[in-house]
Structure 1
Amino acid sequence: MAFATINYHSHSLQKASSFNIVFPDDPAVPRPWSVFYLLHGLSDDHTIWTRRTSIERYVEGLPLVVVMPNGDRGWYTNAIDGYKYEDDIVKDVVGLVDRTFPVKAERAGRAIGGLSMGGFGAVKLGLKHHETFASVNSHSGAIGFLRGDLKKNKELSPEFPRIFGEKPAGGPEDPFAIVEQIDHGRIPAMRIDCGVDDFLIEQNRDFHKFLEERHVAHEYQEFPGNHNWAYWDEHVQQAIAFHVRNLKLKS
């Protein structure tokens, strides 16, 4: 696999930004490639997945590009007061990858996933932009964060009210509300997992129950583990296998 850091000007953020990308360097790997957009958590950046996991090794031989964008602490959301991180991912990053690399530039060629804040971002972006992504996964996702206590949310993420407002539950960024508002037949394939000792486990259980009650097809699994890289390095391998099936890839 080949690795690169792409520095670009984000029109949505009106500033310079970067993403890391892993892509096939074996001429025997067929083109066009599909793309897996892999999002980081609140305290990290676009370098973390390659520093703390073996993601490059896990996709070896697959016709699959892994794009790891920089979402800062922006929750992959167009802030009420601030930067447009949702547009940066969906317009600037996806657009640049589509134009620059020999990828399958259509819904059937795109997956999105992430951990914690990135798990929230992947589910939210996958649901809101179901015409863009065919497959979605979340590890330890902060999926119910918008429905939590505002004071506690501000302690974890001081930028929370600036991004989402004072009453985000049920709003346009709430994954629960998005599910209610869209045709369930257009929801991408979805996989959610969380460690049983993770502080976000109840949020994930609540979302799983919510989807079950509405007969929304999805995969849900709990495993031993906590909110850490040992867990994510292990279970991103299952996410890759999930996307390989849904994107109909062959090694």
Structure 2
Amino acid sequence: MEVLTERWWSPSIGREKSVTVVLPPGYSPSGRPFPVLYLLHGFGGNRTTWLRCGNLPALVDSGRLVLVLPESGRSWFINDARGRRYEDYLVGEVVGHVDARFNTVAERGGRGIGGFSMGGAAALFQALRHGGLFSVVCSSSGAFEAPFREGDPYAAHRGDPNLAMPTVRDHERVWGPVGGEVRRAYDPYRLIRERDTAYPLQVHLDIGLDDHPRMISMNRRTRDALAAGSVPHRYLERSGGHDWEFVDAGLPQMFAFARSHLRNG
């Protein structure tokens, strides 16, 4: 696989931003276009975090997917309460730049979006909010109920060096006060109920049985909401915790799902 870095001045963010693009073997700037999977990192990650997955090179080498790895730090890929516009950056800049720069299937049927934890939730939010852009969602351990969080439900686990969960301060800087406008805008259950049914969506969800009970419960509630809304989905519970080892182990299933539902050129 070939790993490239794309940089440009972002009007949405107000500074230069970089995006990692992974091209599969056989990629050509002409001829048959390639479908694209946008992968969003977890809380505090960056555009290289997904490259740590040991299964990634073989999966890229065996498929016809272009991967795009943007970053938002701890900002959840949303237009947040501080005025940071990472949603505008993602859907208004990154997608257009990728389609202009690379030989892609430049329509929703050729675009999927996925992520881990923060990124898994953001992937579903953005696909529901922008039905004309994405046709597939692949979430691993999605933190879907971030808009509802009050206080610090992970306080008892703060001594764990592997924990990457927002503090109360970090969370409220992005999401604002409980019940506020930003939180209402990204309510996952409202987004599912009110989605534009003219844009069919295929959703893959998985969660580890050793994850935090709160995470398991919200993934089950999201599964139930998708079912109630007649949104086609695949839901998996498997061994593992809230970490990149869990994500890496599930990559073959995630990639197979994406490839089976994305349109090739």
* Corresponding residue for residue 55 of structure 1: 56
Structure 2 vs 1, CA of residues 155 and 78 (structure 1 numbering), >3 Å: closer, same or farther? Answer: closer
Q: What's the offset of the Cα at 1:223? A: 0.4
Q: Is the CA contact 1:118–1:141 (under 8 Å) kept in the aligned structure 2?
A: yes
Shift of 1:30: 5.9
CA deviation after TM superposition for structure 1 residue 155, in Å? 5.5
Relative to 1, partners in 2 of residues 1:231 and 1:177: Cα closer, same or farther, differing over 3 Å?
same
The AA in structure 2 aligned to 1:156 is T
Tell me how far apart the structure 2 counterparts of residues 20 and 63 of structure 1 sit (CA, whole Å): 17
2:225 corresponds to which residue? Answer: 210
Unmatched segments (≥5 aa) in structure 1: none
Summarize the alignment of residues 143-162 of structure 1 with structure 2, pairs less than 5 Å apart.
Answer: 143-152=144-153, 156=167, 158-162=169-173
Q: CA, structure 1 residues 168+4, in 2 after alignment: closer, same or farther (shift >3 Å)? A: farther
Count of residue pairs the alignment pairs up: 250
Report deviation, 1:248.
3.8
CA distance in 2, matches of 1:31, 1:43: 36
**Cα distance, 1:222 vs. partner?**
0.4
Task: Give the percent of matched residue pairs that are identical in Structure 1 and Structure 2.
Answer: 33
Q: Which moved more, 1:171-180 or 1:115-124?
A: 171-180
- Structure 1 residues 51 and 127, CA, compared in 2 at 3 Å: closer, same or farther? same
Q: Distance in 2 between matches of 1:182 and 1:86?
A: 17
Unaligned runs of 5+ residues in structure 2 are 155-164
Check if 1:230 corresponds to 2:231.
no
Deviation at 1:149, TM superposition (A): 2.2
- Aligned twin of 2:130: 129
Tell me which of 165, 184, 194 is aligned to 2:176: 165
| Letter of the 1:171 counterpart | R
Q: 1:116 to 1:27 in 2, by over 3 A?
A: closer
Alignment of 1:31-110 (within 5 A): 31-110=32-111
Task: State the TM-score, normalized to the length of structure 1.
Answer: 0.91
Give the whole-Å Cα distance in 2 for the aligned partners of 1:155 and 1:35.
Answer: 29
Q: 1:151 to 1:229 in 2, by over 3 A?
A: closer
Aligned mates of 2:78, 2:4 — CA distance in 1: 25
Residue 205 of structure 2 aligns with an amino acid whose one-letter code is: I
Partner of 1:15: 15
Is 1:243 aligned with 2:258?
Answer: yes
- 3-state SS, counterpart of residue 177 of structure 2: coil
> In the TM superposition, what is the alpha-carbon distance from 1:207 to its structure 2 partner?
1.1
Secondary structure of 2:205's match? strand
Query: Structure 1's 21 and 63: CA in aligned 2 closer, same or farther, altered over 3 A?
Result: same
In the alignment, residue 54 of structure 2 is paired with which amino acid?
Answer: T
Q: Is 2:169 aligned against 1:178? A: no
Q: Is the 8 A contact 1:136 1:191 kept in 2?
A: yes
Contact in 2 for aligned 1:145/1:203 (Cα 8 Å): no
State which drifts further: 14-23 or 161-170. Answer: 161-170
So what's the TM-score if we normalise by structure 2?
Answer: 0.87
Residue deviations 1:158-189 (CA, integer Å, cap 9, x gap) = 23223222134871111111112223453411
Please say which of residues 241-250 and 224-233 is displaced more in the overlay.
241-250
